[in-house]
Amino acid sequence: MSDEFADQVRAKLSGSTMRNALTRAGALLTGYELVKTSIVDDVRAFFTLGFDTSHLQERYESEVLALDAKRGGGKPNALIASLAWLQQEGALSTSQVETFESVRIHRNEIAHELARFLIDPQHDVRDDLLVQLYEIMLALDRFWGPIHMGTNPDFDNRDLDEVTFQSGTTLLFGLLLGLGQSEQVDDQ
């Protein structure tokens, strides 16, 4: 091991650097789960919650789950199908769906190889993906906000801006971003 690499490893293993790496990893893992849950659960709820539930599950299966046709007879993946439906409805752009896939891949690397991100100087949690996840969450809020406001009597007779509507999930996500940013500032 070269002296330069040994110095990089020692620096990576310092308390503040390791704490920052764990914070960023935790923020990305949590952010991914928040967005994933929002994608799958909100689409499913849109089709399966209501007063007349007799055909809602059938509509969800035919209009959403059927979009994951590439699996060829296997059980459809609700995440892939929901992303396709949200893209079809204009809630997410093609690049946002592609970004989410990049985040999913990086999330899996972190979840399955966390030690590598803590020890190896060549591997770091990609902070840019956390910001992009937040932007996806904001896009979902812009899509679902008017729907929630239009169907929830709690919003009746209120002067609310549908463009700046933020769900509780997005507010929590904002805290994750702030935590990651404050950790990075502490490291300097």
Residue 114: the pLDDT is 94
Q: Which of 184, 144, 183, 150 is nearest to 163 (CA)?
A: 144
d(CA 187, CA 15): 10
The angle subtended at Cα 102 by Cα 85 and Cα 83, nearest 5°, is 5
Say whether pLDDT at 188 is over 50. Answer: no
Domain ranges, residue 61: 3-187
Query: Which residues does 85 contact at the CB level (< 8 Å), separation at least 6?
Result: 43, 63, 64, 67
Give the model's pLDDT for residue 13: 79
Among 111, 43, 113, CA closest to 77: 43
Q: Which two tokens stand for residue 95?
A: 């690049």
On the question of pLDDT at 95 being above 90, the answer is yes
Instruction: For residue 131, name the pLDDT band (cuts at 50, 70, 90).
Output: very high
pLDDT for 89: 96
Which range, of 36-40, 45-49, 134-138, averages the lowest pLDDT? 45-49
Mean pLDDT of the chain: 83
Residue 16 has pLDDT above 90, yes or no: no
Asked whether residue 163 carries a pLDDT value surpassing 60, the answer given is no
d(CA 96, CA 93): 5
More confident residue, 32 or 149: 32
**Kindly report the CA angle at 76 between 74 and 80, in degrees rounded to 5?**
135
pTM for the whole thing?
Answer: 0.82
183 — pLDDT class (breaks 50, 70, 90): very low
Q: Which two tokens stand for residue 8?
A: 């990089």
> What does residue 185 show for φ and ψ, rounded to 5 degrees?
-65, -40
For residue 185, is pLDDT > 70? Answer: no
Domain count of the fold of the chain: 1
Q: What is the pLDDT of residue 12?
A: 80
